[in-house]
C-alpha cells in the first residue's frame, strides 16, 4: 500500500458537484479521482518546467565523463 497523507482542501462548489457526480457514476472514491487528477496535472507541470528550462538554456553542455569526474565517481 502506498503512503498516504490526509489533506483538508477548499473547493468551489461546482467542482465538488462534479466530483460527487463522477465518483457516483464511476463508483470511485473522491480521493482517488482527486489523486488521479493531481497526478496528471503534476505530469503536465513537469513538462512545463522542462520547456521553461529549455527556453532558458545557456548552451552549456557536459560530457558524461565530466559529470562523473565532478561527482568523483
Is residue 22 within 8 Å of 28, Cβ to Cβ?
yes
State the pLDDT at residue 4.
92
Gap between the Cα atoms of 46 and 7, Å rounded: 22
Residue ranges of the chain whose pLDDT lies below 70: 1
Gap between the Cα atoms of 55 and 64, Å rounded: 23
CA dihedral sign of residues 53, 54, 59, 61: positive
Provide the grid cell at 66.
Answer: 565530466
Q: What is the mean pLDDT of the chain?
A: 92
What confidence tens digit (pLDDT) does each residue in 53-73 have? 888 888 888 899 999 998 888
Amino acid at each position: 500500500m502506498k503512503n498516504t497523507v490526509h489533506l483538508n482542501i477548499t473547493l468551489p462548489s461546482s467542482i465538488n458537484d462534479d466530483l460527487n457526480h463522477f465518483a457516483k457514476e464511476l463508483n470511485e472514491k473522491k480521493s482517488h479521482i482527486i489523486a488521479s487528477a493531481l497526478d496528471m496535472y503534476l505530469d503536465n507541470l513537469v513538462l512545463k518546467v522542462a520547456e521553461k528550462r529549455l527556453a532558458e538554456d545557456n548552451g552549456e553542455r557536459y560530457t558524461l565523463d565530466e559529470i562523473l569526474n565532478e561527482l568523483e565517481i
